[in-house]
Structure 1
Amino acid sequence: MRLAVTGRDGQVAASLLEAGQARTGVEVVAIGRPELDLARPETVIDAIAAAKPDIVVSAAAYTAVDQAEDEPDLAFAVNATGAGKVAQAAARLGVPVIHLSTDYVFDGSAPGAYVETDATAPLGVYGASKLAGEQAVAAAGPRHLILRPAWVYSPFGRNFAKTMLRVAADRDEISVVADQWGNPTSALDIADAILHAATMLHEDTHFRAFGVYHLVGTGETNWSGFARHILDTSLASGGPWADVRDIATKDYPTKARRPVNSRLSSAKFAATFGWTAPEWRKSTERIVRRILDRR
C-alpha cells in the first residue's frame, strides 16, 4: 500500500513517514514544495499523479492561526482551494483521500464534547479556511475521510509541548491559560490511526463509511493541565521544569479567538475503524521523552 502525503515538514507528515518505515507492506511518500505547492493549485494534480498513490493523505496546511487574520487570502488559498485540488487529484486517480482538518471549525460554545453532526461556526480566518477546505474535499468526490484532530503535538515541528520545554529551560514560572479545554492529540497516534484506516480502505473495496470523523487523544484537560503534565514528565526524565500559573484567556490576548471548548468525541471513529487513541497522558510522556532524547 502506497500513501502519498502532502507536506514534508508537518507534524502528521513526519509522523506518517516514521510510522510507514516500521510497517511491512506500507510505503509513505511525502510530497511538498516546490513540486507541490498548495498556494499554486496548478502544481497539485501532476505532483500527486507522479507519486502513484493507492491513498492520498492531505496533511499540508496553513496553520499560523493568528497570522491568518492578516493573510486571509493565503490561508484560504492553501486550506480551501489547495485542499480541494488535492482531493480532485485523488478523485481523478480513482483513490480515496484522507484529509486533516481541525477543532477550530467549532466556536467552542457547546457544553460537552462535539460530535461530527454538531453545527460548525469557526471564530476566525484559520477555522473558516479549514471548514471551506472540508467542503471542497467533500465536493471533489465521495471517497473521502475528513479527520478533525485537536491540540496536536509531536517530536516534530513547532508545537505546545516543545514550546513548554523550551520556555521552562529559561524561566521558573510559566503562565498558561486554564479556561480552554480540549483533547491533547499526539501526531504519532494520528499517524497510527491513519495507517489503520488506510489499510481498511485499501483492503475493503466495498467500504462505504466515508465522511467526517473526529480523531483526538483519549481524555481531556485544559492548557495549564497539559503544561503541568509535560513539565512533570520532563522533570522525572531529568529535563527542564517550571511552575505553571493558571491564567484566563483574557489575560493572554491573541489576534485570533480560540474556542473555549475544543473537546471532540472520537466515538464514531472507534466504532467504524476499531481504533482508539491512547490516554493523552501516556502519549504525552512518550513524546516528551523523545523530545528530551533529541536534545
Structure 2
Amino acid sequence: MRMRVLLLGGENRLGQALLAQAAAEFIQLESVERPEQGWQPDMADDLLTGAKPDLVLNLAFYREQFQLGLEDAAVLQAQQQFDERLIRGCASKGVTLMMLSSARVFDGSKTTSHTEKDEPRPTGALGRLQAQLEDSLRTQCPKHIILRFSWLLDAAPEGPFGQLIAGLKGPSPLTLPEEWRGNPTPVADAARVMLSLLKQLDCAASVYGTYHYGSSEVTTWISFAQNVMQELIGRGVLSGDVVFQPVAYGSLPELRGRPQNAALLGRKLMLVFGIKPRTWRSQLPALLDELES
C-alpha cells in the first residue's frame, strides 16, 4: 500500500480484526493503541506530526460507541474533544480521515432501511454526538469517509453479542425487545469492508462521503437470538430451546437512545466501491468460535 495509514485503536477487537486481514494480504498499517490515560486531545496533534500519515482510520472509541453504548457525559466529552481536534488536524494537513458512525444518528421511526439520504434525527446523547462529529468532519475536512454501521458484534463478554450468549445460557425465560430491527454485522465483516475501502483509496479514487454497511439480511433481535440459540444447541452448548419473553421495545432502559429500526441499506457502498454484503448467517459460526476460544 502506497498510502501511510495510521490506525487509532489497534488494541480493540475491530482494530485487531482489521490488522489480521491486512497482514494476510501483506498490507502494513501503522497501529496506535489506547494509552493508559485514555485518548487526550493533544495526542491528536502529536500523532499527526509524528506519523505524518496520508490517512487516519479512527477506531479510538469503538468499544465505548459500539459495544458499551456509553452515554456517560465524561466519556462523551472526552470523545468529542479528541475527535474534534483530530478533525481539525487532518483538515489543516490535508490528511484523509475515515471515521465510524452508526444508525444511532436516526430516530428509528422509519419503517424501511435507512439510506445515506435520510436526515439524521438522533434521540440519544451518543447519537447526537455522532451526528455532530459527522457534521464537523463534512464541513472541515473535504477528504473524509464516514462509515455507518448498524449492530457491530464481537466476542467481548460486555458487548451485545456476549450478553446475548450469557442470557441464553442463563435461566429461562429470556427477556428480549419486540421488533428491534437491524443488521447483525460481525467485526470480521466490518474489517473486510474497511480494508476494501482503504485499498481503493490507495488507488487515488475520489470517493469521499458517507456510506452505510450492514451484513445481510435485516432481522429482529429476537429472530437473531433464535438463530444463535439453534447454533448453540447444535454445538451441545445448550441442551434445549430457551423460552423468549418478548417485551415492548420502549420498556427496556438499556435500549434508550438506540433507534428501534437500526437497519441500514448499503447499496451506495456497493455501487461506488463494488463491496457486496455478506450474510450474517454464514458468519455466525466463526463469531461463536471466537467467543469460545
TM-score by length of structure 2 reads: 0.88
Please give the secondary structure, in 1, of the residue aligned with 2:215. coil
Partner of 1:195: 195
Partner of 1:229: 227
Structure 1 portions without partners, runs of 5+: none
Q: Distance in 1 between matches of 2:280 and 2:137?
A: 29
Q: Deviations over 1:167-223 (max 9, x none)?
A: 32332331111221111111111111111111111112xx22211111111111111
Q: Distance in 2 between matches of 1:197 and 1:191?
A: 10
Partner of 2:212: 214
Give the 3 Å change call, closer, same or farther, for CA 14–200 of structure 1 in structure 2: same
Partner of 1:21: 23
Once the 2 structures are TM-superposed, how far is the Cα of residue 130 of structure 1 from its aligned partner?
1.0
Once the 2 structures are TM-superposed, how far is the Cα of residue 148 of structure 1 from its aligned partner?
0.4
Confirm or deny: 8 A CA contact 1:84 1:140 kept in the other structure.
no
Partner of 1:291: 291
Once the 2 structures are TM-superposed, how far is the Cα of residue 52 of structure 1 from its aligned partner?
4.1
Q: Deviations over 1:44-88 (max 9, x none)?
A: 1212443343421111224243x51xx33531440x332232233
Q: Distance in 2 between matches of 1:243 and 1:289?
A: 24
Confirm or deny: 8 A CA contact 1:152 1:159 kept in the other structure.
no
Larger displacement relative to structure 2 (162-171 or 101-110): 162-171
Confirm or deny: 8 A CA contact 1:114 1:263 kept in the other structure.
yes
Once the 2 structures are TM-superposed, how far is the Cα of residue 234 of structure 1 from its aligned partner?
1.9
Give the 3 Å change call, closer, same or farther, for CA 52–155 of structure 1 in structure 2: farther
Once the 2 structures are TM-superposed, how far is the Cα of residue 150 of structure 1 from its aligned partner?
1.0
Q: Distance in 1 between matches of 2:87 and 2:237?
A: 42
Partner of 2:76: 75
Partner of 1:160: 160
Confirm or deny: 8 A CA contact 2:106 2:122 kept in the other structure.
yes
Query: Are 1:262 and 2:262 an aligned pair?
Result: yes
Matched residues, number: 285
Confirm or deny: 8 A CA contact 2:232 2:238 kept in the other structure.
yes
Partner of 1:132: 132
Partner of 1:175: 175
* One-letter identity of the residue aligned with 1:126: L
Q: Distance in 2 between matches of 1:107 and 1:187?
A: 24
Q: Give me the identity figure in percent.
A: 22
Structure 2 portions without partners, runs of 5+: none
Which runs of structure 2 are paired with 1:68-107 in the superposition (5 Å)? 68=71, 71-78=72-79, 80-107=80-107
Please give the secondary structure, in 1, of the residue aligned with 2:227. helix
2:236 to 235, 238, 241: 238
Partner of 2:34: 32
Q: Distance in 2 between matches of 1:50 and 1:232?
A: 50
Q: Distance in 1 between matches of 2:273 and 2:112?
A: 23
Give the 3 Å change call, closer, same or farther, for CA 51–245 of structure 1 in structure 2: farther
* One-letter identity of the residue aligned with 2:5: L
Larger displacement relative to structure 2 (250-259 or 113-122): 250-259
Q: Distance in 2 between matches of 1:232 and 1:83?
A: 41
Confirm or deny: 8 A CA contact 2:114 2:265 kept in the other structure.
yes
Q: Distance in 1 between matches of 2:88 and 2:33?
A: 16
